[in-house]
Amino acid sequence: MRLSVESPYLKERHLAFAKAARELGPQLPTESPYVLADGRRAVELMASAGLFRALEQVEALSICAIREELASFSGLCDSIFAVQGLGSYPLALGGSEALKAKLLPAAARGERVFAFALSEPEAGSDAANLRTTARRVGESYVLDGGKRFISNSGIADHYTVFARTEGERRISAFLVDVGTPGFTVGPQQELLAPHPLAELTFNECVVPASRRLGEEGQGLKLALSTLDVFRATVGAAAVGMGKRALGDALAHAKSREQFGAPLFELQGVQFLLAESATELDAARLLVHHAASVKDGGVRVTYEAAVAKLFATEAGQRAIDRSLQIFGGTGVCKGNAIERLYREIRALRIYEGASEVQKVVIARELAKSSR
Give catalytic residue positions: 351
The DSSP element (H or E) to which 115 belongs, if any, is strand 114-117
Among residues 354, 270, 264, 351, the alpha carbon closest in space to that of 315 is found at 354
Question: Which amino acid would we find at residue 248?
Answer: D
**Rounded-to-integer distance, Cα 313 and Cα 315, Å:** 5
Q: Which residues pair with 261 in a beta bridge?
A: 258
56-59: Cβ within 8 A, 24+ apart: 56/104, 56/105, 56/107, 56/108, 58/85, 58/89, 58/92, 58/229, 59/14, 59/295
- 224: nearest Cα among 33, 322, 329, 89: 89
Asked whether the CA dihedral 258, 260, 265, 267 is positive or negative, the reply is negative
Distance from C-alpha of 35 to C-alpha of 274, rounded to nearest angstrom? 38
Q: Please name every residue paired with 145 in a beta bridge, in sequence order, or none if there are none.
A: 202
Q: CA-CA distance, 154 to 78, in Å (whole number)? A: 17
